[in-house]
C-alpha cells in the first residue's frame, strides 16, 4: 500500500488554527489533500489529527481520518517521524501492509502533484530510504555572519570573506512540503537528514515556510502570482 499521512494537530501557537485557516479561498489543508489526490500516487490519504474540527474539514475535502491522534503525539515537541510511524503502524494493522508512506504537510499550498509523482519514482529508482523536497539558499551560507550582543558583525567563516560567491558550493535546506519514505524507515525512526535520503530539488520561488503571519501574507502573494502566471500560459 502507498499511504499519504497529513499531520495536522490543533495546537498551532503562532498562527492559531493554521491548518484550516482560509488560504486563497480554501482551508489550508485542502491544498495538500487535493494535490495528493491529483497525483494518483496513493491508495489512502489520511489526516493524523487530535482535533475534531480539523478532522471534519479534512473529510469534507476528501481525506480519511480513521483515528484521532493520541495526546502523547500531539504536543509541541513531538517530531514528524513518530507521528508518521504511528499512522503507518495503525493502517498496517487495520488494512494491510504499507510499502511506501509520504508525510505530506498540511501547510504546503505550493506542493504539486507532479512533484509527488517525481518523488515516488525517485525513491523507487534510487534505492534510498527517503526522498524529500529541498531548495538552495538564496545567499552563500559560507559568507553568513552573526550580530553580536554588542551589535557588531562576526563572520561564521572569516576565511571565505574574499571568496567570490560563484566559487562557493551551493547549500540546500528542507523545503517543508513532503517526505516520501519506505515504511521500514519510518517505523525504525531512521533519520531524515542523512546519507539514506535523496533530494527532490525545487526552485526557490515555489518554496515558503509558513510559521508567522508575515510568512502567511508573503505565501498568499506568491501563490496568487504563480497562479496568474500559469493561467497566462494556458
Model pTM greater than 0.85? yes
At CA 128, angle to CA 122 and CA 130, rounded to 5? 80
Domain of residue 8, CATH code: 3.90.550.10
> Is residue 203 in a domain?
yes
pLDDT in tens, 117-175: 999 999 999 999 999 999 999 999 999 999 999 999 999 999 999 999 899 999 999 99
What is the number of domains present in the chain?
Answer: 1
Res 76: pLDDT: 87
> Is residue 157 in a domain?
no
Res 234: pLDDT: 47
pLDDT in tens, 183-234: 999 999 999 999 999 999 999 999 999 999 999 999 999 999 988 866 555 4
Give 154's strand partners: 146
d(CA 205, CA 33): 21
Res 201: pLDDT: 97
Q: Which domain holds residue 73?
A: 2-136+172-233
pLDDT in tens, 20-29: 999 999 999 9
Q: 66, 75, 62, 67: which is closest to 10 by C-alpha?
A: 75
CB 130 within 8 A of CB 190: yes
Cell numbers that stand for 37 in this block? 489526490
> Is residue 205 in a domain?
yes
> Is residue 162 in a domain?
no
Amino acid at each position: 500500500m502507498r499511504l499519504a499521512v497529513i499531520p495536522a494537530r490543533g495546537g498551532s501557537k503562532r498562527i492559531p488554527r493554521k491548518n484550516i485557516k482560509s488560504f486563497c479561498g480554501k482551508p489550508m489543508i485542502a491544498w495538500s489533500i487535493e494535490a495528493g489526490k491529483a497525483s494518483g500516487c496513493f491508495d489512502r490519504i489520511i489526516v493524523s489529527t487530535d482535533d475534531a474540527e480539523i478532522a471534519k474539514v479534512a473529510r469534507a475535502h476528501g481525506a480519511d481520518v480513521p483515528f484521532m491522534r493520541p495526546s502523547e503525539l500531539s504536543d509541541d515537541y513531538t517530531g514528524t517521524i513518530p507521528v508518521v510511524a504511528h499512522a503507518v503502524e495503525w493502517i498496517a494493522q487495520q488494512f494491510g501492509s504499507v510499502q511506501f508512506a509520504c508525510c505530506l504537510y498540511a501547510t504546503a499550498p505550493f506542493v504539486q502533484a507532479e512533484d509527488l509523482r517525481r518523488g515516488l519514482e525517485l525513491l523507487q529508482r534510487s534505492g534510498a530510504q527517503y526522498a524529500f523536497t529541498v531548495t538552495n539558499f538564496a545567499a552563500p551560507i559560507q559568507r553568513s555572519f552573526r550580530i553580536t550582543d554588542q551589535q557588531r558583525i562576526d563572520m561564521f567563516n572569516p576565511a571565505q570573506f574574499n571568496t567570490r560567491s560563484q566559487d562557493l558550493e551551493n547549500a540546500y535546506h528542507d523545503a517543508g512540503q513532503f517526505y516520501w519514505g519506505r515504511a521500514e524507515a519510518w517505523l525504525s525512526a531512521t533519520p531524515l537528514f542523512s546519507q539514506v535520503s535523496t533530494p527532490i530539488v525545487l526552485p526557490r520561488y515555489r518554496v515558503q515556510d509558513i510559521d508567522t503571519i508575515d510568512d502567511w501574507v508573503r505565501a498568499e502573494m506568491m501563490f496568487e502570482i504563480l497562479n496568474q502566471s500559469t493561467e497566462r500560459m494556458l
